[in-house]
Amino acid sequence: MSRRFWFIVLACCMLAGLLRAQPDTLWTRTYSYAPRFFPNGILWGHDGNILMSGIMAGANSEDAFILRLDSEGNFISLLQYGQIDMDEEVPAYVCKTSDGGYALATQTLTNGHSSNYYLARLDSSGAVLGERMYGVPPNDELLNAFITTSDGGFVMAGQGHWSSTPFAFRVDQNGDSLWAREYHFTPRGEAYGIVQTSEGGFAMTGWGLDDSSRVRVFFAKLDSAGEVSMFQYFGGTNQPDRGEEGKEIIIANNDGYLIVARTNSYSEHVWDLFVLRLSEDGDSLWARIIPCGTYNVPTHCRGLNDGSFIIQSICLTGTTYNLSLTRLSSAGETIWQGAYPVNGWFHYAGLDTDAMGRYLMCAERPFSEAYIVLTEPDTALSARPPSAIPRRSALKVNAFPNPFNAQITISFQNRSGAPVSVQLIDILGRTAADVLSNAPINGDYEFVYDASMLSTGIYFIKATAGQELATVKIILTK
């Protein structure tokens, strides 16, 4: 795709609609308990208190920590974790477990090299119930993602041997290893996000080098044993020193996936936010490029209860580094974008949400402070309904053969009494062709459409009649 095309996409993202205002800040807090204090994760605990995780470093050692705060940000406890005679490294992740406790994962460093995974099971107060160390020789694993599984176990993902390939590691609820996989679908790469699917397998994203040695976002589906069942790249241009890197993946509305990534392929910015919406099969449904100043690198994303998404990123506007939040509808439209200033450059950040629609964030302040922001409730959650809930009772559409070459038969049933319009929409939401416009057709209708002027790819037939909407995905091959 040409850079001109992506600049059009970028402009559309910037100009689409009137944006709602970002939620106001409810309170901010700053904490410092060591000469170096690096937070990278935050969540609402089982009891409504706040847990922030990271690495704290003194003169001779580094340890993982969990800082427990009440809902107003007041201190409850500070607990440290790790192995004696080893240094724990950023990041340190904490997640809830189904028994009312927590789990913490980080990586350890021995003698300045040889990194291993460290996992601790914790009770509701943060006390250690058990801890384990894991490593695959020569023990240079890097940790970028940590999740719980439906059976009470855990998966850690990152990079295998130093500067090598994506890596994932699964343990059961007792901490016993189930499998460890280093993935060679790319000659070099790194996993940054992983999520469990409804089938019990996993979907993973990160970056890898394609056959032309371009850095691109990868999407891989794994079975429950960690074996690759599907893999593909997204993004990428032929420009030197340009590319995309996947940063996190989530299940999107129980139907496919959302990947947030960073890109520098389509503008002169250092980095822009790159968002991909994929189907369950990994097909691209839409993609968006979202700038924020000259530097906009995603850190986390969450699905919200109305089908929309909130994306956190590190954003540089002028000389100010910000915790940035971007709210997207289920169709990828920008509802609002906001910035919450942080005093100084930072590399790690954390995000969580609650039932009231508040956003809880943390960041590091160079180099000895942790900074927390809690917002007011997001009023757009109740003000804006899900954007793509089709009503199909009076209008149905189908197409065959599918996939097709040049010509396709489109059939529909219209019981609405309203005129019918039919369009072909590409995977980025653009109208590729107007097939019918307000045609006064009721009942059953079928016709052959010649799509030979279109490029090979995935399209959607979008039929509308009054308030009725019906869609079907088609694949054009040549």
Q: Round to whole Å and give the CA distance between 185 and 179.
A: 18
The domain locations on the chain are 3-380, 395-476
Helices (H) and strands (E) in the chain, counts: 2, 35
Instruction: Please give the average pLDDT of every successive group of 10 residues along the chain, which has 478 residues.
Output: 42 45 93 90 94 82 91 94 63 92 87 73 95 72 91 92 82 94 92 94 95 90 96 78 90 90 85 93 91 92 92 93 94 93 89 92 87 91 43 74 92 88 80 89 90 88 83 86
Report the distance separating Cα 41 and Cα 462, nearest Å.
41
Q: Are 332 and 284 in contact (CB under 8 A)?
A: no
Residue with tokens 């009494």: 417
Rg (CA), the chain: 24
Do the beta carbons of residue 366 and residue 22 sit within 8 Å? Answer: no
- With 0-12 / 13-18 / 19 or more C-beta atoms within 10 angstroms meaning exposed / middle / buried, residue 310 is buried
Question: What residue type is assigned to position 433 of the chain?
Answer: A
Q: Is 376 helix (H, G, I), strand (E, B) or coil?
A: coil
Bridge partners of 445, per DSSP, are: 412
Q: What dotted CATH number matches 3-380?
A: 2.120.10.30
The pair phi, psi for residue 361, each rounded to 5°, is: -135, 155
pTM of the model: 0.76
* Helix, strand, coil abundance in the chain, percent, nearest 5: 5, 60, 40
Question: If we measure between CA atoms, which residue out of 145, 278, 156, 147 comes closest to residue 217?
Answer: 278
Residues 6+ apart with CB under 8 A from 415: 393, 394, 395, 442, 443
Q: How far does Cα 100 stand from its chain's mean position?
A: 26
> What is residue 2's predicted lDDT score, i.e. its pLDDT?
43
Helix (H, G, I), strand (E, B) or coil at 83: coil
pLDDT at 240: 66
- The CATH class, in words, for 395-476 is mainly beta
pLDDT value of position 332: 92
Which DSSP string do the residues of 208-238 spell out, in sequence order?
EE-TT--EEEEEEEE-TTS-EEEEEEE---S
Pairing assessment for the beta strands 215-222 and 202-209 based on DSSP bridges: antiparallel
Instruction: Decide: 219 and 232 in contact? Cβ < 8 Å.
Output: yes
Provide φ and ψ at 14, rounded to 5°.
-75, -30
Residue 51 C-alpha from the chain's centroid: 21
Dihedral angle sign, alpha carbons of residues 242, 245, 251, 257 = positive
- Asked whether the beta carbons of 275 and 331 are under 8 A apart, the reply is no
Q: What is the 3-state secondary structure (H, E, C) of 64-130?
A: EEEEEECCCCCEEEEEEECCCCCEEEEEEEEEECCCCCEEEEEEEEECCEEEEEEEEEECCCCCEEE
